[in-house]
A and B are shown apart, each in its own frame.
Chain A
Amino acid sequence: MHVLEYLAPQTLGEALETLAKQSEGAKIIAGGTDLIPRMRSGIIHPTLLIDLRKLSLNRIEFKGGWICIGATVTHTDILESNLLASHYPAMVEAVKEIAGPPIRNRGTIGGNLANASPAADLALPLLSYDAFVVLAKVGGERKVPLAEFFTGPGQTVLTPDEILTEIRIPVVPPRTISKFIKLGKRKAMAIAVTSIATRLTLDEAGNISQARIALGSVAPRPMRSTMAEAILENMTPGIELFAKSAQVASMESSPISDIRASGNYRKQMVAVLTRRSLLAAWQQLERRDR
Chain B
Amino acid sequence: MTEIMVRFHVNNHPTAVKTDPTRTLLSVLRDDLKLKGAKEACGQGDCGTCVVVMDGKAVNSCLILIAQVEGANVMTVEGLAEERELHPLQKHFIENWAFQCGYCTSGMLMSAYALLLNKPNPTRDEIRVAISGNLCRCTGYHEIMEAIEASAVDLQVQVRKNTGNT
Q: Which residues of A contact B (CB under 8 A)?
A: 1, 3-6, 8, 29, 31-33, 36-37, 39-41, 49, 51, 53, 76, 99-103, 105-106, 187-189
**CB < 8 Å neighbour of B64 from A32, A41, A99:** A32
With A100-B132, A102-B58 in contact, is A49–B45 under 8 Å at CB?
no
B131 CB contacts on chain A under 8 angstroms = 100
Q: Are A100 and B48 in contact (CB under 8 A)?
A: yes
Supplied contacts A1-B22, A6-B65, 5 more A-B pairs, CB within 8 Å: A33-B60, A100-B134, A102-B59, A105-B59, A106-B60
A190 to B162, CA, bound (A): 42
Which chain B residue lies CB-closest to A3? Answer: B22
Report B-chain residues with C-beta under 8 Å of the C-beta of A8: 67-68
Residue of A nearest to B48 (CB): A102
**What class of interface size applies to chain B in its complex with A?**
20 to 34
Task: Using known A-B contacts A6-B67, A49-B22, A188-B133, determine if residue A102 contacts B60 with beta carbons closer than 8 Å.
Answer: yes
CB neighbours (8 Å) of A29 from chain B are 65
26 A-B residue contacts at CB 8 Å? Answer: A5-B2, A6-B65, A6-B67, A32-B68, A36-B64, A37-B44, A37-B45, A40-B43, A40-B44, A41-B44, A49-B22, A49-B65, A53-B68, A99-B133, A100-B131, A100-B132, A101-B111, A102-B45, A102-B60, A103-B63, A103-B133, A105-B58, A105-B59, A106-B59, A188-B129, A188-B132
**Contacting pair A6 B45 (CB below 8 A):** no
If A36-B63, A36-B65 touch, whether A102 touches B51 (CB-CB below 8 Å) is: yes
**Taking beta carbons and an 8 Å cutoff, which residues of B are in contact with A?**
1-2, 4, 21-22, 24, 43-46, 48, 51, 57-60, 62-65, 67-68, 111, 114, 129-134
Closest-by-CB residue of B relative to A105 is B57
Residues of A within 8 A of B59 (CB): 102, 105-106
In the complex, are the beta carbons of A101 and B129 less than 8 A apart? yes
Q: What is the bound-complex CA distance between A5 and B64, given in angstroms?
A: 16
C-alpha gap A49/B21 in the complex (Å):
10
Given A36-B24, A40-B43, verify A103-B60 contact (CB < 8 Å): yes
Contact A101 B43 (CB under 8 A): no
Q: Contact at B57–A76, with CB atoms within 8 Å? A: yes
B64 to chain A, nearest CB (A): 7
Minimal beta-carbon separation of B163 from chain A (angstroms) = 26
Residues from chain B with Cβ under 8 Å of A33 in the complex: 45, 60, 63
Min Cβ gap A223→B in Å is 27
Nearest 6 interchain pairs by C-beta: A100-B133, A188-B132, A37-B44, A6-B21, A100-B132, A105-B57
Q: Looking across the interface, which residue of chain B has its beta carbon closest to that of A106?
A: B59
Q: Which residues from chain B contact A53 at a C-beta distance below 8 Å?
A: 68
Q: Which residues of A contact B1 (CB under 8 A)?
A: 3-5
| Minimal Cβ-Cβ distance residue in B for A80 | B118
A53 to B22 Cα, complex, angstroms: 15
Contacts of A5 in B (CB 8 A): 1-2
Inter-subunit contact A51/B68 (CB<8 Å) = yes
Which B residues lie within 8 Å of A32 (CB)? Answer: 63-65, 68
In Å, the complex CA distance between A29 and B64 comes to 11
**Set of chain B residues within 8 Å of A51, measured between Cβ atoms:** 67-68
